Chains A and B, each alone.
Chain A
Protein backbone atom coordinates (compact mmCIF):
# COMPACT_ATOMS: atom_id res chain seq x y z
CA UNK A 1 0.00 0.00 0.00
CA UNK A 2 1.12 3.53 -0.71
CA UNK A 3 2.35 5.32 2.42
CA UNK A 4 -0.60 6.64 4.46
CA UNK A 5 0.88 10.14 4.65
CA UNK A 6 1.10 10.26 0.85
CA UNK A 7 -2.48 9.03 0.62
CA UNK A 8 -3.57 11.77 3.03
CA UNK A 9 -1.91 14.37 0.82
CA UNK A 10 -4.00 13.02 -2.06
CA UNK A 11 -7.11 13.15 0.15
CA UNK A 12 -6.30 16.82 0.81
CA UNK A 13 -6.44 17.22 -2.96
CA UNK A 14 -9.92 15.60 -2.87
CA UNK A 15 -8.81 12.26 -4.32
CA UNK A 16 -11.62 9.79 -3.54
CA UNK A 17 -9.56 6.82 -4.78
CA UNK A 18 -6.82 7.56 -2.22
CA UNK A 19 -9.48 7.83 0.48
CA UNK A 20 -10.86 4.42 -0.52
CA UNK A 21 -7.40 2.84 -0.13
CA UNK A 22 -7.15 4.35 3.36
CA UNK A 23 -10.61 3.07 4.23
CA UNK A 24 -9.78 -0.45 3.06
CA UNK A 25 -6.58 -0.43 5.10
CA UNK A 26 -7.83 1.13 8.34
CA UNK A 27 -11.57 0.51 8.68
CA UNK A 28 -11.01 -2.76 10.57
CA UNK A 29 -8.95 -0.91 13.16
CA UNK A 30 -11.52 1.87 13.57
CA UNK A 31 -14.51 -0.46 13.62
CA UNK A 32 -12.83 -3.00 15.89
CA UNK A 33 -11.82 -0.33 18.39
CA UNK A 34 -15.28 1.24 18.43
CA UNK A 35 -16.88 -2.18 18.82
CA UNK A 36 -14.59 -2.99 21.73
CA UNK A 37 -15.48 0.26 23.49
CA UNK A 38 -19.20 0.24 22.72
CA UNK A 39 -20.08 -3.47 22.42
CA UNK A 40 -22.68 -2.51 19.84
CA UNK A 41 -22.10 -3.29 16.13
CA UNK A 42 -24.56 -0.63 14.95
CA UNK A 43 -22.98 2.10 17.09
CA UNK A 44 -19.51 0.93 16.04
CA UNK A 45 -20.51 1.34 12.39
CA UNK A 46 -21.80 4.83 13.16
CA UNK A 47 -18.46 5.71 14.75
CA UNK A 48 -16.57 4.26 11.77
CA UNK A 49 -18.66 6.33 9.38
CA UNK A 50 -18.22 9.49 11.46
CA UNK A 51 -14.44 9.01 11.72
CA UNK A 52 -13.88 8.44 8.00
CA UNK A 53 -16.19 11.21 6.90
CA UNK A 54 -14.41 13.55 9.32
CA UNK A 55 -11.10 12.56 7.73
CA UNK A 56 -12.53 13.24 4.29
CA UNK A 57 -13.99 16.55 5.41
CA UNK A 58 -10.97 17.79 7.39
CA UNK A 59 -7.87 15.90 6.23
CA UNK A 60 -5.67 18.74 7.46
CA UNK A 61 -6.34 17.54 11.02
CA UNK A 62 -3.73 14.86 10.35
CA UNK A 63 -0.41 16.61 10.79
CA UNK A 64 1.93 13.80 9.87
CA UNK A 65 3.41 11.10 12.06
CA UNK A 66 2.02 7.64 12.38
CA UNK A 67 -1.37 7.46 10.69
CA UNK A 68 -2.50 4.23 12.36
CA UNK A 69 -1.80 5.61 15.82
CA UNK A 70 -3.55 8.84 14.93
CA UNK A 71 -6.71 7.28 13.51
CA UNK A 72 -6.87 4.91 16.49
CA UNK A 73 -6.88 7.97 18.78
CA UNK A 74 -9.59 9.64 16.72
CA UNK A 75 -11.71 6.46 16.80
CA UNK A 76 -11.27 5.97 20.54
CA UNK A 77 -12.19 9.58 21.27
CA UNK A 78 -15.25 9.34 19.04
CA UNK A 79 -16.36 6.12 20.71
CA UNK A 80 -16.02 7.79 24.12
CA UNK A 81 -18.13 10.67 22.81
CA UNK A 82 -20.87 8.11 22.19
CA UNK A 83 -20.39 6.71 25.71
CA UNK A 84 -20.80 10.24 27.07
CA UNK A 85 -23.91 10.99 25.03
CA UNK A 86 -25.47 7.69 26.10
CA UNK A 87 -24.84 8.63 29.70
CA UNK A 88 -26.45 12.03 29.16
CA UNK A 89 -29.49 10.26 27.74
CA UNK A 90 -29.49 7.89 30.69
CA UNK A 91 -28.71 4.88 28.50
CA UNK A 92 -25.52 3.85 30.20
CA UNK A 93 -22.86 4.59 32.72
CA UNK A 94 -19.97 6.87 32.13
CA UNK A 95 -16.88 7.09 34.33
CA UNK A 96 -16.69 10.17 36.54
CA UNK A 97 -13.99 11.79 34.48
CA UNK A 98 -13.09 10.34 31.12
CA UNK A 99 -9.39 10.36 30.33
CA UNK A 100 -7.96 12.67 27.76
CA UNK A 101 -5.77 11.70 24.88
CA UNK A 102 -2.34 13.17 24.42
CA UNK A 103 -1.53 15.26 21.42
CA UNK A 104 2.13 14.51 21.05
CA UNK A 105 3.74 12.96 18.04
CA UNK A 106 3.55 9.22 17.84
CA UNK A 107 6.52 7.03 17.63
CA UNK A 108 6.42 4.91 14.54
CA UNK A 109 4.94 1.46 14.65
CA UNK A 110 5.42 -0.66 11.58
CA UNK A 111 3.86 -3.80 10.12
CA UNK A 112 1.33 -4.20 12.87
CA UNK A 113 -0.10 -7.67 12.92
CA UNK A 114 -3.24 -7.59 15.07
CA UNK A 115 -3.01 -11.32 15.69
CA UNK A 116 0.54 -11.04 16.98
CA UNK A 117 -0.42 -8.07 19.13
CA UNK A 118 -3.37 -9.97 20.59
CA UNK A 119 -1.05 -12.87 21.41
CA UNK A 120 1.41 -10.52 23.10
CA UNK A 121 -1.35 -8.95 25.19
CA UNK A 122 -2.71 -12.37 26.11
CA UNK A 123 0.76 -13.27 27.39
CA UNK A 124 0.74 -10.38 29.86
CA UNK A 125 0.06 -11.31 33.48
CA UNK A 126 -3.62 -10.78 34.18
CA UNK A 127 -2.93 -8.14 36.85
CA UNK A 128 -1.13 -6.02 34.23
CA UNK A 129 -3.46 -6.74 31.31
CA UNK A 130 -6.65 -5.85 33.18
CA UNK A 131 -5.86 -2.26 34.16
CA UNK A 132 -4.52 -1.57 30.65
CA UNK A 133 -7.67 -2.85 28.96
CA UNK A 134 -9.98 -1.35 31.57
CA UNK A 135 -8.42 2.04 30.95
CA UNK A 136 -7.94 1.93 27.22
CA UNK A 137 -11.22 0.30 26.17
CA UNK A 138 -13.33 0.97 29.24
CA UNK A 139 -12.53 4.66 29.49
CA UNK A 140 -11.61 4.46 33.17
CA UNK A 141 -9.01 6.80 34.59
CA UNK A 142 -6.28 5.28 36.73
CA UNK A 143 -8.11 6.52 39.84
CA UNK A 144 -11.28 4.74 38.72
CA UNK A 145 -9.33 1.59 37.93
CA UNK A 146 -7.98 1.71 41.49
CA UNK A 147 -11.51 2.09 42.87
CA UNK A 148 -12.95 -0.67 40.69
CA UNK A 149 -10.20 -3.14 41.48
CA UNK A 150 -9.75 -2.15 45.10
CA UNK A 151 -6.01 -1.68 44.53
CA UNK A 152 -3.94 1.27 45.78
CA UNK A 153 -3.43 3.91 43.08
CA UNK A 154 0.34 3.42 43.18
CA UNK A 155 -0.09 -0.27 42.41
CA UNK A 156 -2.32 0.51 39.45
CA UNK A 157 0.25 2.96 38.08
CA UNK A 158 3.07 0.43 38.46
CA UNK A 159 1.08 -2.36 36.83
CA UNK A 160 0.15 -0.19 33.86
CA UNK A 161 3.76 0.86 33.39
CA UNK A 162 5.15 -2.64 33.78
CA UNK A 163 2.50 -4.07 31.46
CA UNK A 164 3.23 -1.54 28.74
CA UNK A 165 6.98 -2.11 29.08
CA UNK A 166 6.51 -5.86 28.81
CA UNK A 167 4.28 -5.42 25.79
CA UNK A 168 6.83 -3.12 24.22
CA UNK A 169 9.54 -5.74 24.67
CA UNK A 170 7.30 -8.48 23.31
CA UNK A 171 6.71 -6.43 20.19
CA UNK A 172 10.38 -5.74 19.52
CA UNK A 173 10.86 -5.99 15.79
CA UNK A 174 7.26 -5.01 15.07
CA UNK A 175 7.82 -1.59 16.55
CA UNK A 176 10.37 0.80 15.14
CA UNK A 177 11.58 3.93 16.83
Chain B
Protein backbone atom coordinates (compact mmCIF):
# COMPACT_ATOMS: atom_id res chain seq x y z
CA UNK B 1 0.00 0.00 0.00
CA UNK B 2 1.51 3.34 -1.04
CA UNK B 3 1.35 6.15 1.52
CA UNK B 4 -0.01 9.59 0.72
CA UNK B 5 3.46 11.14 0.95
CA UNK B 6 4.75 8.64 -1.57
CA UNK B 7 1.85 9.44 -3.89
CA UNK B 8 2.58 13.16 -3.57
CA UNK B 9 6.20 12.45 -4.43
CA UNK B 10 5.02 10.57 -7.48
CA UNK B 11 2.81 13.42 -8.75
CA UNK B 12 5.77 15.25 -10.30
CA UNK B 13 6.99 12.04 -11.96
CA UNK B 14 3.45 11.41 -13.17
CA UNK B 15 3.16 14.93 -14.61
CA UNK B 16 6.48 14.39 -16.39
CA UNK B 17 5.31 11.02 -17.70
CA UNK B 18 8.09 8.95 -16.16
CA UNK B 19 6.05 6.49 -14.12
CA UNK B 20 5.55 2.87 -15.15
CA UNK B 21 1.91 2.04 -15.99
CA UNK B 22 0.85 0.56 -12.63
CA UNK B 23 2.16 3.51 -10.60
CA UNK B 24 0.74 6.00 -13.10
CA UNK B 25 -2.68 4.39 -12.76
CA UNK B 26 -2.47 4.64 -8.95
CA UNK B 27 -1.59 8.35 -9.12
CA UNK B 28 -4.30 9.02 -11.67
CA UNK B 29 -6.91 7.43 -9.40
CA UNK B 30 -5.59 9.34 -6.40
CA UNK B 31 -5.75 12.68 -8.25
CA UNK B 32 -9.48 12.24 -8.72
CA UNK B 33 -10.04 12.54 -4.97
CA UNK B 34 -7.07 14.42 -3.46
CA UNK B 35 -7.14 18.20 -3.79
CA UNK B 36 -3.62 18.67 -2.44
CA UNK B 37 -2.09 16.38 -5.04
CA UNK B 38 -4.27 17.81 -7.79
CA UNK B 39 -3.05 21.30 -6.94
CA UNK B 40 0.54 20.06 -7.15
CA UNK B 41 -0.21 18.43 -10.51
CA UNK B 42 -1.83 21.58 -11.86
CA UNK B 43 1.16 23.59 -10.70
CA UNK B 44 3.71 21.34 -12.38
CA UNK B 45 1.99 20.29 -15.58
CA UNK B 46 2.68 23.56 -17.46
CA UNK B 47 6.37 23.12 -16.63
CA UNK B 48 6.21 19.73 -18.36
CA UNK B 49 4.59 21.31 -21.40
CA UNK B 50 7.44 23.81 -21.34
CA UNK B 51 9.94 20.93 -21.40
CA UNK B 52 8.20 19.64 -24.53
CA UNK B 53 8.36 23.09 -26.12
CA UNK B 54 12.08 23.28 -25.41
CA UNK B 55 12.53 20.72 -28.18
CA UNK B 56 10.62 22.81 -30.71
CA UNK B 57 12.67 22.92 -33.89
CA UNK B 58 14.41 26.23 -34.53
CA UNK B 59 13.50 28.01 -37.74
CA UNK B 60 16.83 29.75 -37.70
CA UNK B 61 19.25 27.33 -39.37
CA UNK B 62 22.19 29.51 -38.36
CA UNK B 63 21.46 28.74 -34.71
CA UNK B 64 21.98 25.07 -35.38
CA UNK B 65 18.31 24.16 -35.42
CA UNK B 66 16.97 21.51 -37.70
CA UNK B 67 13.71 21.96 -39.48
CA UNK B 68 11.43 19.52 -41.22
CA UNK B 69 11.59 19.48 -44.98
CA UNK B 70 9.03 21.66 -46.82
CA UNK B 71 8.34 18.53 -48.86
CA UNK B 72 6.87 16.99 -45.70
CA UNK B 73 4.20 19.67 -45.55
CA UNK B 74 3.53 19.26 -49.27
CA UNK B 75 3.08 15.50 -48.78
CA UNK B 76 0.73 15.86 -45.84
CA UNK B 77 -1.34 18.65 -47.38
CA UNK B 78 -1.71 16.77 -50.66
CA UNK B 79 -3.28 13.86 -48.80
CA UNK B 80 -5.42 16.10 -46.60
CA UNK B 81 -6.75 18.17 -49.49
CA UNK B 82 -7.58 15.05 -51.47
CA UNK B 83 -9.51 13.59 -48.54
CA UNK B 84 -11.21 16.92 -47.82
CA UNK B 85 -12.43 17.00 -51.39
CA UNK B 86 -13.79 13.47 -51.06
CA UNK B 87 -15.35 14.11 -47.66
CA UNK B 88 -17.24 17.23 -48.64
CA UNK B 89 -19.61 14.64 -50.06
CA UNK B 90 -21.81 14.67 -46.95
CA UNK B 91 -23.39 17.81 -48.42
CA UNK B 92 -24.00 15.85 -51.61
CA UNK B 93 -25.10 12.92 -49.45
CA UNK B 94 -27.90 14.90 -47.81
CA UNK B 95 -30.40 13.71 -50.38
CA UNK B 96 -29.47 10.19 -49.27
CA UNK B 97 -30.38 11.03 -45.67
CA UNK B 98 -33.57 12.61 -46.90
CA UNK B 99 -34.28 9.58 -49.03
CA UNK B 100 -33.84 7.36 -45.97
CA UNK B 101 -36.12 9.61 -43.90
CA UNK B 102 -38.67 9.83 -46.69
CA UNK B 103 -38.69 6.03 -47.09
CA UNK B 104 -39.42 5.67 -43.41
CA UNK B 105 -42.26 8.16 -43.61
CA UNK B 106 -43.64 6.40 -46.67
CA UNK B 107 -43.51 3.07 -44.86
CA UNK B 108 -45.54 4.51 -42.03
CA UNK B 109 -48.07 6.09 -44.34
CA UNK B 110 -48.34 2.89 -46.36
CA UNK B 111 -48.72 0.93 -43.16
CA UNK B 112 -51.68 3.05 -42.19
CA UNK B 113 -53.74 1.43 -44.94
CA UNK B 114 -53.68 -1.84 -43.03
CA UNK B 115 -54.57 -0.38 -39.68
CA UNK B 116 -57.99 -0.19 -38.26
CA UNK B 117 -57.49 0.35 -34.53
CA UNK B 118 -57.85 3.98 -33.54
CA UNK B 119 -55.04 4.01 -31.01
CA UNK B 120 -52.54 2.56 -33.46
CA UNK B 121 -53.76 4.98 -36.09
CA UNK B 122 -53.32 7.86 -33.72
CA UNK B 123 -49.84 6.73 -32.70
CA UNK B 124 -48.74 6.32 -36.27
CA UNK B 125 -50.16 9.70 -37.21
CA UNK B 126 -47.91 11.19 -34.56
CA UNK B 127 -44.96 9.25 -35.97
CA UNK B 128 -45.79 10.35 -39.51
CA UNK B 129 -46.02 13.95 -38.35
CA UNK B 130 -42.63 13.59 -36.66
CA UNK B 131 -41.16 12.19 -39.87
CA UNK B 132 -42.59 15.10 -41.84
CA UNK B 133 -41.11 17.48 -39.29
CA UNK B 134 -37.77 15.73 -39.58
CA UNK B 135 -37.72 16.02 -43.37
CA UNK B 136 -38.70 19.68 -43.15
CA UNK B 137 -35.90 20.31 -40.64
CA UNK B 138 -33.39 18.45 -42.81
CA UNK B 139 -34.24 20.61 -45.80
CA UNK B 140 -34.70 23.94 -44.03
CA UNK B 141 -32.10 26.55 -44.99
CA UNK B 142 -32.21 28.01 -41.48
CA UNK B 143 -31.16 24.71 -39.86
CA UNK B 144 -27.76 24.91 -38.21
CA UNK B 145 -25.52 22.12 -39.45
CA UNK B 146 -22.37 20.95 -37.71
CA UNK B 147 -20.58 18.30 -39.75
CA UNK B 148 -18.29 15.63 -38.37
CA UNK B 149 -16.47 12.80 -40.06
CA UNK B 150 -19.39 10.44 -40.60
CA UNK B 151 -22.33 12.81 -40.53
CA UNK B 152 -23.78 15.98 -39.14
CA UNK B 153 -25.49 17.30 -36.08
CA UNK B 154 -28.43 19.39 -37.18
CA UNK B 155 -30.28 21.87 -35.02
CA UNK B 156 -33.41 23.79 -35.82
CA UNK B 157 -35.00 25.64 -32.95
CA UNK B 158 -35.11 23.20 -30.03
CA UNK B 159 -34.97 20.17 -32.29
CA UNK B 160 -31.66 18.37 -32.45
CA UNK B 161 -30.75 15.52 -34.81
CA UNK B 162 -27.75 13.32 -35.39
CA UNK B 163 -27.54 12.14 -39.01
CA UNK B 164 -24.84 9.62 -39.82
CA UNK B 165 -23.74 7.76 -42.94
CA UNK B 166 -21.25 4.99 -43.73
CA UNK B 167 -21.66 3.66 -40.20
CA UNK B 168 -20.19 0.23 -39.56
CA UNK B 169 -22.35 -2.12 -37.50
CA UNK B 170 -21.07 -2.01 -33.92
CA UNK B 171 -19.55 -5.21 -32.49
CA UNK B 172 -21.99 -7.85 -31.19
CA UNK B 173 -23.64 -6.72 -27.96
CA UNK B 174 -22.84 -3.04 -28.62
CA UNK B 175 -24.87 -0.08 -29.80
CA UNK B 176 -24.25 3.54 -30.70
CA UNK B 177 -25.16 5.96 -27.94
CA UNK B 178 -25.63 9.72 -28.08
CA UNK B 179 -24.46 12.00 -25.27
CA UNK B 180 -25.20 15.61 -24.48
CA UNK B 181 -23.10 18.11 -22.57
CA UNK B 182 -25.01 20.94 -20.91
CA UNK B 183 -23.36 24.35 -20.96
CA UNK B 184 -21.29 25.01 -17.85
CA UNK B 185 -20.98 21.33 -16.92
CA UNK B 186 -18.14 18.87 -17.36
CA UNK B 187 -20.03 15.58 -17.34
CA UNK B 188 -21.92 14.34 -20.34
CA UNK B 189 -25.45 13.02 -19.90
CA UNK B 190 -26.61 9.81 -21.58
CA UNK B 191 -29.10 10.12 -24.42
CA UNK B 192 -30.57 7.66 -26.92
CA UNK B 193 -28.99 4.47 -28.15
CA UNK B 194 -29.34 3.57 -31.81
CA UNK B 195 -28.14 1.30 -34.60
CA UNK B 196 -27.34 2.06 -38.25
CA UNK B 197 -29.85 1.04 -40.89
CA UNK B 198 -28.98 -1.62 -43.46
CA UNK B 199 -27.66 1.18 -45.71
CA UNK B 200 -25.27 2.33 -42.95
CA UNK B 201 -27.30 5.49 -42.39
CA UNK B 202 -29.40 6.73 -39.55
CA UNK B 203 -31.13 9.89 -38.40
CA UNK B 204 -31.85 10.22 -34.70
CA UNK B 205 -33.84 13.00 -33.10
CA UNK B 206 -32.58 13.62 -29.59
CA UNK B 207 -35.07 14.45 -26.83
CA UNK B 208 -35.58 18.22 -26.53
CA UNK B 209 -33.01 19.58 -24.10
CA UNK B 210 -34.23 21.30 -20.97
CA UNK B 211 -30.97 23.27 -20.69
CA UNK B 212 -28.67 24.91 -23.22
CA UNK B 213 -26.33 22.34 -24.69
CA UNK B 214 -22.65 22.90 -25.36
CA UNK B 215 -21.88 19.69 -27.25
CA UNK B 216 -23.22 16.40 -28.57
CA UNK B 217 -21.17 13.22 -28.78
CA UNK B 218 -21.57 9.64 -30.01
CA UNK B 219 -19.78 6.58 -28.68
CA UNK B 220 -20.13 2.81 -28.91
CA UNK B 221 -21.55 1.30 -25.72
CA UNK B 222 -22.90 -2.01 -24.43
CA UNK B 223 -26.50 -2.79 -25.33
CA UNK B 224 -28.90 -0.88 -23.12
CA UNK B 225 -26.55 2.09 -23.02
CA UNK B 226 -24.24 3.42 -20.32
CA UNK B 227 -24.51 6.12 -17.69
CA UNK B 228 -21.03 7.38 -18.53
CA UNK B 229 -19.08 6.74 -21.77
CA UNK B 230 -17.03 3.55 -21.61
CA UNK B 231 -15.24 4.18 -24.91
CA UNK B 232 -13.72 7.14 -26.68
CA UNK B 233 -16.35 9.11 -28.60
CA UNK B 234 -16.36 8.53 -32.33
CA UNK B 235 -17.77 12.02 -32.74
CA UNK B 236 -17.90 15.10 -30.56
CA UNK B 237 -19.50 18.25 -31.91
CA UNK B 238 -19.60 21.65 -30.22
CA UNK B 239 -22.96 23.36 -30.69
Tell me whether A14 and B84 are in contact (CB under 8 A): yes
Contacting chain A: which of B48-56, B106-114, B115-123, B189-197? B48-56
Tell me whether A63 and B236 are in contact (CB under 8 A): yes
SS of A interface (majority): helix
Tell me whether B80 and A56 are in contact (CB under 8 A): yes
- Interface residues, chain B, with chain A CB atoms under 8 Å away: 9-21, 24-25, 27-28, 31, 41-59, 66-69, 72-73, 75-77, 79-81, 83-84, 87-88, 146-149, 232-238
What are 19 sample pairs from A and B whose C-beta atoms fall under 8 A apart?
A: A28-B56, A28-B57, A53-B80, A56-B79, A68-B53, A72-B53, A99-B17, A109-B50, A114-B54, A114-B56, A114-B58, A117-B51, A117-B53, A132-B51, A135-B13, A160-B16, A161-B44, A165-B12, A171-B50
SS of B interface (majority): helix
Complex formed: what's the CA distance from A56 to B52 in Å? Answer: 22
The 3 closest A-B pairs by CB, nearest first: A135-B18, A72-B52, A161-B12
- Interface residues, chain A, with chain B CB atoms under 8 Å away: 9, 12-16, 19-20, 23-24, 27-29, 31-33, 35-36, 41, 44-45, 48-49, 52-53, 56, 58-61, 63, 66, 68-69, 72-73, 75-76, 97, 99-104, 106-109, 112, 114, 117-118, 120-121, 132-133, 135-137, 140-143, 145, 154, 157-158, 160-161, 164-165, 167-168, 171, 174-175, 177
Tell me whether B72 and A49 are in contact (CB under 8 A): yes
